[in-house]
A and B are shown apart, each in its own frame.
Chain A
Amino acid sequence: MINASEPQEQFQIDADRTTADEPRRAAVRQALGNYKTARSKTENAFASWPHARDAAATIKYEGINHLDRYLREFEEKFTARGGKVFWASSGAQAREYILRLARERAVKSIVKSKAMTSEEIHLNDALEKDGYHVIESDLGEFIQQLKHEPPYHFVFPCMHLKREEISALFERELGTAKTDSPEELTMIARRFLRRHYINADMGISGGNFIVAETGMISITENEGNARLATALPKIHVALVGIEKIIPRLADLALFLPMLATAGTGQQLTCYNSMYGGPRQPGEIDGPEEFHVVLLDNHRTRLLADAEQRDALHCIRCGACLNVCPIFKNIGGHAYGTTYQGPIGSVITPHFRGLQDWKHLSGASSLCGACTEACPVKIDIHHHLLQNRRNAVSEKKVWWERFIWFGFRELMKRPWAYQMAMRLAPVGQFFHPLVLGTALDPVNSWTKTRDFPAAAPQSFHDWWRDRKGVRK
């Protein structure tokens, strides 16, 4: 693998490599083909999917546009039951809070359930550097942790792997026997993970929704690992992005089936749990301490952008990745971001700098499949267009400026345009002289595709001739 210094250069290199890997692309296509079938079936179980989307977008709009009020309401209700809330402006603050907590409570072993926020702030690296033993308990995340690789897809972390690859990984890392049975592979992970739940003194989770009205965190999962990771250790820390807010408990009646439908094509995920605080007097289980870390980490920067604020409606279902032809062909790792796919291409420039990450907004045919699939109606592909515009108004690239200057001068003068159209066949006559060489101005097209021949007579000239004859 080649490492480039610039994210844009790295992206081009990785996209070259991954698009050439047809077996991997075929596997991803097949997995997502199954998703499409399942999803359309479940969508039909809604009285009206379009109306459900409208309702969801309205609720998220309300939550995000009154974020201050609803977050404070959450804090008030949650702390009243003995929970602790930490407001983290940055990833560094969130990391520091969790590290300090682990240090003060003499934590040794940490078990985690799936949390993209922890990937976002590189929490595992920080914890491991300070000597803590950290284990991922979501099966996909566990596999990726063993592989020392970031998640491939923020909902399906190891969707790119075949079962024989997982078997080989377990053989190497855990010393288990070779198997091609998914059930057996799951049992291997389960047996390995069980003792870690029992030994861990801290459990770290994410959160799918923050319910303001009742001061609760809602977690959606299919494996039951989050329930164990949050209930068994004596300390539970939930690291949640502030945009996960919803105003009312009743809103979950829409959002839980919607997240399952858009995310995996399920009607509901297997486990949906509400976490409202630490163990209460008289309760027999649950953590002694429960901390919620509310993570901003540039989300308020996105909030300040009225045009793209709806990107904070995202419930991280991954639907936009699942339908994206770019994602399907380049795969998740090529993006080089925590959040892959179309929504990642929208928000990453806000989180990590527009000039460094604008190429992701450029790497789109703007087909709009993402926007069509988004359950909360984020105008994803138009935001990509706005990112391109914003990047240019911030800083123009000299050669692009030169091209579009020429284009403008040509296209605003019909006589110049028509002359260029008449010259096109002449230019094309000489094209074979440079075809396939570095001198070919359209090499990046002709390398893989044929270019049509310019017609000997343009429509414009045909029309003019015809008009002349008719007169």
Chain B
Amino acid sequence: MRVTLFIPCFIDSLYPKVAMSIVQIFERLGHEVDYPEGQTCCGQPPFNSGYWDEAREVAARQLEVFRDAEVVVSASGSCGAMFKKFYLELFHGHPQEAAAKALAAKTYEFSEFLVDKLGVRDVGARFDGKVTFHDGCHGLRELGTKEAPRELLRAVKGLELIEMGEAESCCGFGGMFAVKFPQISTAMAEVKCNSIIDTGVEYVVSNDSSCLMQIQGYLSRHSPRVVKSLHLAEVLAQQ
């Protein structure tokens, strides 16, 4: 299958290893990977801030870029939810409504695509360590992805998955929310990170790098011991 990647802007610049890992995994599984170079940002920041006109212009650009793709796989649950759910609202009653529906129908979050679309659970990875999984809210509640990442992690040799008490609690990132209400955002991160630390793991894994930016940002400033954050793809790419 020809897999077209959607690599959100912050992964492109801050976490390129995540995207490289995704390329590696799909190629290892024998799929052709495509990355349209004209892609930028899904437009979620202005959308969530109420600036829908600005968001629509940026989003329209992505509709163009991914028009010919067979399937689009997003490296982030949150940006995937933007394509899959929020574009439908953003373009409701606009000329690009049909294009938005077409994109929504062929977009998948990374773990969901592997498990539900390709039927793959074991990608042949090996990773020695104790890991806990953080559910990104958009992946969990907008896209309904709960089991897929866990199934993938359980199939990794050498990996021990330990559930935390607050797995489904928001990490407090929330995009602009994290800088507009830093005190609330940080308090939420504290609750989340304490729950991570309590499990005794060495790694916290998620399918959303935006949450990990928040979690790692808090952990590296406040955690009494080292807990490293990794995107699911970075774990699955290891052999």
Binding site for B on A (CB under 8 A): 12, 15-16, 19-20, 25, 29, 325-326, 328-330, 362-369, 371-372, 385, 388-393, 400-401, 404-405, 407-408, 410-414, 417, 421, 424, 442, 444-445, 447-455, 457-460, 462-464
Contacts and interface: CB of A to CB of B under 8 A. Distances in A.
B220 interface: yes
B7 interface: yes
Contacts of B137: 365-369
Contact of B141 (A15, A25, A367): A367
Interface of B: 7, 9, 11-17, 19-20, 23, 35, 37-41, 43, 45-46, 48-52, 54, 57-58, 60-61, 137, 140-142, 168-170, 172-175, 177-189, 191, 213-214, 216-218, 220-221
B50 to A, nearest CB: 4
Given A19-B184, A444-B182, A459 B12 contact: yes
B183 A451 contact: no
Contacts of A364: 174, 177
A460 B16 CA distance: 8
Given A329-B188, A366-B48, A412-B57, A452 B170 contact: no
Contacts of B170: 325, 365, 367, 369
Contact of B12 (A326, A412, A447, A460): A460
A445 B180 CA distance: 9
B57 A445 contact: no
A16 to B, nearest CB: 5
A455 B174 contact: no
A326 B13 CA distance: 30
A195 B61 CA distance: 71
A470 B131 CA distance: 36
A450 B216 contact: yes
A160 B160 CA distance: 38
Nearest to B215: A449
B46 A404 contact: yes
Contacts of B60: 412
B66 to A, nearest CB: 13
A414 B186 contact: no
10 contacts: A326-B188, A329-B191, A364-B177, A367-B137, A401-B51, A417-B40, A445-B182, A452-B213, A452-B217, A462-B16
A246 to B, nearest CB: 28
B217 A449 contact: yes
A414 B177 contact: no
Contacts of A412: 40, 57-58, 60-61
A193 to B, nearest CB: 37
A98 B193 CA distance: 51
A14 B44 CA distance: 29
DSSP majority for the A interface? helix
A417 to B, nearest CB: 4
A195 to B, nearest CB: 44
A460 B11 CA distance: 10
A462 B20 contact: yes
Contact of B221 (A12, A448, A453, A458): A448
A325 B137 CA distance: 12
Contacts of A393: 50, 52
Contacts of B12: 421, 458-460
B169 to A, nearest CB: 6
Contacts of A413: 40
Nearest to A408: B54
DSSP majority for the B interface? helix
A180 B1 CA distance: 68
Closest 5 CB pairs of A and B: A365-B174, A449-B217, A388-B50, A367-B170, A392-B50
Nearest to B229: A452
A362 B180 contact: yes
B216 A414 contact: no
Contacts of A369: 137, 141, 168-170
A451 B11 CA distance: 14
B1 to A, nearest CB: 19
Contacts of A451: 217
B154 to A, nearest CB: 24
Contacts of B177: 362-366
Given A421-B12, A452-B15, A463-B37, A407 B54 contact: yes
A329 B13 contact: no
B13 A458 contact: yes
For B20, B184, B189, which residue has the most chain A Cβ atoms within 10 angstroms? B184
A209 B112 CA distance: 42
Contact of B183 (A19, A421, A462, A463): A19
B37 A464 contact: yes
A367 B174 contact: yes
Given A16-B183, A411-B43, A368 B50 contact: no
Contacts of A391: 50
For A25, A366, A391, A464, which residue has the most chain B Cβ atoms within 10 angstroms? A366
A407 B45 contact: yes
B172 A365 contact: yes
B51 A454 contact: no
Nearest to A452: B14
Contacts of B142: 368
Contacts of B180: 362-363, 444
A442 B48 contact: no
Given A19-B184, A29-B191, A329-B184, A388 B54 contact: no
Contacts of B216: 450, 452
Given A392-B51, A411-B41, A459-B11, A329 B187 contact: yes
Given A414-B39, A421-B12, A448-B182, A325 B172 contact: yes
B59 to A, nearest CB: 9
For A410, A453, A463, which residue has the most chain B Cβ atoms within 10 angstroms? A463
A368 B220 contact: no
A411 B61 CA distance: 9
Contacts of B17: 455
A416 to B, nearest CB: 9
Contacts of A452: 14-15, 213, 216-217
Given A389-B52, A414-B39, A450 B220 contact: yes
A366 B15 CA distance: 24
A173 to B, nearest CB: 32
B13 A455 contact: yes
B40 A454 contact: no
